[in-house]
Amino acid sequence: MITRSEIQEVETRIRPYIRRTPILEIDGADVGLPSIRLILKLELLQHSGSFKSRGGFTNLLLRDVPDVGVVAASGGNHGAAIAYCAHRLNYRAKIFVPSVASPAKVELIRGYGADLEIAGERYADALEASEEYIAKTGAMPIHAYDQRETLLGQGTTGMELNEQFPDLDSLLVAVGGGGLLGGVASWYRNDVKLIAVEPELAPTLDYALKAGKPVDAPAGGIAADSLAPKRVGELMFPIAKQFVDQSILVTDEEIRNAQKTLWRLARIAAEPGGAATLAGILSKRYQPEKGERVGLIVCGGNLNLQIS
């Protein structure tokens, strides 16, 4: 298990390199739920466009990096984060992404100077290619979610939100491989009601909870480049079993509606994975009680936008 004191120590180490992302409160009445308060943690404003820079810096600062550098497999956001963190700390980075990765994320990775290679159609294909590269070169792997340092870094998101708004009753967290959920759950433990949110077409945690262990799940849908690994992480699964109160699934249509709502209400341009938590509320898959103070982590904002 990961302790709060360990997360606090990591936060001190990475603090010079990460942004303290803001929170934004939205009136529940604006989404048809006048009796609740919605507190958004805007991790899409983090360096490289997602929370994953926290885990990236934690890995690079706590581990011994060889001269050949680091390697990561990613649907997009983790790769962008590792490329950014490696650039900041002057390390070489090799990033493998699947063809499903969005052009915006591919452009980010290349823009940070990493050596990028497209391998296969899904995250699992990119992961396999990265493992072959590690065996040949001795590069240091940085796993997107199944790495202790990654979980510690993502846990600082929960620590920061707890400092900014200490009176949450519940918190919705999007799940792909589960690094963010595992880290945040390690911080909050049983202090808030934790709700895991996944796309119906990529139900990794849902499958794992039903099977009693991580198992292969479908990996499709609108958020396939951020919330669709082959299976949930081994390290986070016992944490989820202990601290997650509810696991819900949302449809692609519900995620799109949440994206539109975030833009309409606050001009927040969230990618599908980043809007999944609000989709959990708008769809009524999670139904807050009257007066509930509900936290939502908006975890990513790497969209394919063109501004003319």
**pLDDT tens-place string over residues 37-84:** 999 999 999 999 999 999 999 999 999 999 999 999 988 899 999 999
The CATH architecture annotation of domain 4-50+152-298 reads 3-Layer(aba) Sandwich (3.40)
Q: By percentage, how much of the chain surpasses pLDDT 70? A: 97
pLDDT, mean over the chain: 93
Element (H, E) at 95: strand 93-97
The number of beta carbons lying within 10 Å of the beta carbon of residue 187 is: 26
**pLDDT tens-place string over residues 226-274:** 566 778 999 999 999 999 999 999 999 999 999 999 999 999 999 999 9
- The CATH code for residues 52-141 is 3.40.50.1100
Same topology between domain 4-50+152-298 and domain 52-141: yes
Closest to 300 (Cα-Cα) out of 119, 133, 144, 166: 144
Measured CA to CA, the distance from residue 220 to residue 13 in angstroms comes to: 36
> What does the domain layout of the chain look like in residue ranges?
4-50+152-298, 52-141
